Amino acid sequence: MGKMYDTLVKSRREQPQDTKQTDKSLFNKIFQKTNEPEISDAHVKQQATPNAAVAQKPSVASASLPIVSSEQYQKPAEESGIDPRMIVYYEPRSKEAEQFRILRARLRKFAQDKQHVILLVLGTCPQEGKSFIASNLAISIAQAGTSPVLLLDGDLRKPTLHKLFGLPAARGLTDYLTSNATFEEVIYTTEVNGLQVIPAGDIPHNPAELIASDRMQLLLNDIKTNFSTCWLIIDSPPVISTPEPAILIEHADGFIYVIQADKTDKKLVKDSLSKIDNNKLLGVVFNRIAYQSHNYYYYHTDKKK
C-alpha cells in the first residue's frame, strides 16, 4: 500500500449522493448510463499521494478545498504506526470521515438482531481501494462503541492490513489455517479502541485451498466463542482474478462492492458479479469520486465566528 506519509493530502474530492437504493438492481441502473454513476452507499475519496500504489489522483477534475480540520485527534502516524490514509482515525470531523459514518448508518439495519455480523468487502480488480474502504469502515464502526470490530485480511496473495495498522507480519490467517498458530496468537490489538486485526501472515502457495478448508469455519467458530457480539469485516482479494471471494462469500452475511469511479470497467464488473452470490449484495461504494464544494458548507458550523 506504499510507505508512510508525513501528512494527509490537503485536498480531497468526492461527491456524496443521498439514496437508499442498495440492492442489486442498482447495477442495472449503472450499466444503463454512460455518464458518471449517480448511486452509492457512500462516496469516499482516497487521498492522492504519488508514492502510493493505491492512492491515485482521480481522473475527474474539481476545485481544491482546504481540509476541514487540521487538528490531530490521535497520535501522529510515526508514533501510532497507523497509515495516514486512515482518515476516520486521524480526521474524524472531516467530510470524508462523515461519508464512512453514512455508510455505517446504512449498514445498521443489516446488523439488527445479529450478535455476530460477517461483512465482506469485494471489488473487481486490484488497487480499487478495497483495503482503504474496509479499514476506514472498521474504524468508524469501532468508534460508534456499540460492538467490538475484528478486521480480517482475507487477501493471502497481496496482504496489506498489517501495513495499514503498523502490525508485524509474523503470524496471521495463513498460520492459523495451517494449524501453526492459535486464535490468540494471530489476533492483534490496534491503537483504535474496540478494533482488532487478524493479518494475513505469510503468503502461502495455495491460498484458495486454505480459505476453503475446514479451519476457516473453525476460525469463525473461535470468533463467536471469544466475542459475545462483534462485527467481522473481511478484506477480500479481487473477484475477477481469484477464486477466494466466491468461497469467502459463503461465510458472509452480506457484502459491499467497491467500484473505482471512471476506472473500473463495467464489463468486468458484470463478469465478476456472475462469479458470486449476488443475493448477498448490500450496496455499492464508489471510490475516488469528485465532489462539489457547496455540499459541505455545514461542516464549518462548529467553528467560532
pLDDT digits (tens, 9 = 90+) for 235-292: 999 999 899 999 999 999 999 999 988 788 889 999 888 888 889 999 999 887 765 5
- Average pLDDT on 153-170 reads 92
| Domain 25-300 superfamily per CATH | P-loop containing nucleotide triphosphate hydrolases (3.40.50.300)
More confident residue, 62 or 3: 3
- Average pLDDT on 79-96 reads 90
Place of cell 487477501: 155
**pLDDT exceeds 80 at position 220:** yes
**pLDDT exceeds 70 at position 41:** no
Task: Report pLDDT digits (tens) over 114-131.
Answer: 999 999 999 998 888 999
pLDDT, residue 219, reads 97
Least confident among 2-16, 81-95, 113-127: 2-16
pLDDT, residue 292, reads 54
Task: Report pLDDT digits (tens) over 23-39.
Answer: 444 444 444 443 433 33
**pLDDT exceeds 70 at position 60:** no
pLDDT, residue 9, reads 36
Is the whole-model pTM more than 0.75? no
